[in-house]
């Protein structure tokens, strides 16, 4: 496939900058609604300060958080489009350029396998040295190539979970388990309110992939009955913004349910996205 390499690099670079520095319109709206509804003074102040931060970050095109996140990539591919090594290489170069321009926190660990675990090899000072995750690819009907970039912070990774749930042929068994996990995770996260990203599938890989899709396509203004139910239950926990209490523990739930296995088990992947996440943007290549 012939690609205009410089064009791709520039588009991906811009996409990384937007993902790392700007709230989507629906996220600004949901923050506005949460501020209006919140009755706890400390919680209200936290929400107002977080929204103010987002507006400054967007204006300055600077990181929303000092943990600027690990880039995760999701590529939608139309029927007449091809992917080759040249394209993927250009995408990686664009990510590196975006991280340098943002700038992202230089947090790539140097060294061999062992040194990368115990961090004895030191850090690379180049923000662009931070490699993105493997690319998830999905066919679509629209004849385009669309790249989504997500920037994943460390806190939600610590509190996230992928595990099996024995459903006993009841949806409520699965949602009750999710809420139990989510209340504990939101309480320990430290950077609530959360947006709860969930994927339910047949394997750990599939559930996590579905959870990624939930983050990409989730919208605070479009919530299913089940998503609303989970959010409402989480908001009764009194965790609140930064754990300070109040009725804004969760802004929304983004749930993606995939194909399921004929068995008594469902694999659930949960990521309690922090108050500035999901940090995401997309671009047509």
Contacts with other proteins by CB under 8 A lie at 21, 41-42, 45-46, 49-50, 52-54, 56-57, 60, 62-68, 102-107, 122-123, 125, 127, 155, 190-191, 238, 242-245, 274-276
To other proteins, the closest distance from the beta carbon of 70 in angstroms equals: 13
CB of 129 to other proteins, least distance (A): 13
Q: Two tokens at 213? A: 């899709």
Q: Is 93:56 a contact under the CB 8 Å cutoff?
A: no
- Say if CB 98 and CB 162 are below 8 A apart: no
The string of DSSP codes covering 153-208 is -HHHHHH-EEEEEE-TT-HHHHHHHHHHHHHHHHHHHSSPSEEEEEEEESSHHHHH
Residue 32 or residue 122: which is nearer to other proteins going by CB? 122
- Smallest distance from the beta carbon of 109 to other proteins, in angstroms? 12
Contact 102, 21 (CB under 8 A): yes
CB of 155 or CB of 218, closer to other proteins: 155
The least distance separating other proteins from the CB of residue 195, rounded to whole angstroms, comes to 15
Comparing CA positions, the residue from 277, 279, 72 lying closest to residue 191 is 277
| In the complex, least distance from residue 140 CB atom to other proteins, rounded to whole angstroms | 33
Which is closer to other proteins, CB of 230 or CB of 276? Answer: 276
List the structure tokens of 259.
Answer: 């194909």
In the complex with other proteins, the residue whose CB is nearer, 103 or 258, is 103
Residue 42 or 162 having the CB closest to other proteins: 42
Q: Which residues have C-beta within 8 Å of that of residue 6, sequence separation ≥ 6?
A: none
């Amino acid at each position: 496939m012939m690609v205009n390499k410089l064009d791709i690099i520039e588009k991906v670079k811009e996409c990384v900058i937007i993902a790392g520095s700007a709230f989507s319109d629906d996220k600004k709206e949901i923050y506005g609604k949460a501020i209006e509804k919140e009755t706890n003074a400390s919680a209200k102040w936290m929400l107002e300060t977080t929204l103010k931060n987002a507006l400054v970050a967007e204006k300055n095109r600077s990181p929303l958080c000092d943990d600027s996140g690990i880039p995760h990539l999701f590529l939608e591919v139309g029927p007449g489009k091809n992917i080759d090594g040249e394209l993927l290489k250009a995408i990686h170069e664009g990510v590196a350029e975006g991280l340098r321009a943002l700038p992202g926190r230089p947090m790539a660990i140097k060294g061999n396998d062992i040194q990368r675990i115990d961090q004895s090899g030191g850090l690379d000072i180049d923000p662009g040295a931070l490699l993105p995750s493997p690319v998830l690819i999905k066919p679509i009907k629209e004849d385009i190539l669309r790249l989504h970039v997500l920037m994943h912070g460390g806190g939600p990774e610590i509190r996230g979970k992928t595990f099996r749930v024995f459903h006993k042929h009841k949806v409520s068994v699965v949602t009750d388990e999710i809420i139990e996990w989510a209340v504990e995770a939101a309480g320990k996260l430290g950077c609530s309110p959360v947006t709860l990203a969930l994927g339910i599938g047949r394997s750990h890989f599939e559930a996590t992939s579905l959870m990624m899709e939930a983050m990409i396509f989730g919208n605070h203004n479009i919530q299913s009955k089940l998503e609303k139910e989970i959010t409402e239950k989480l908001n009764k926990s009194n965790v609140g913004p930064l754990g300070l209490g109040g009725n804004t523990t969760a802004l929304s739930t983004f749930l993606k349910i995939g194909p399921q296995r004929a068995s008594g088990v469902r694999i659930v992947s949960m990521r309690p996205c922090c108050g500035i996440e999901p940090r995401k943007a997309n671009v047509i290549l």
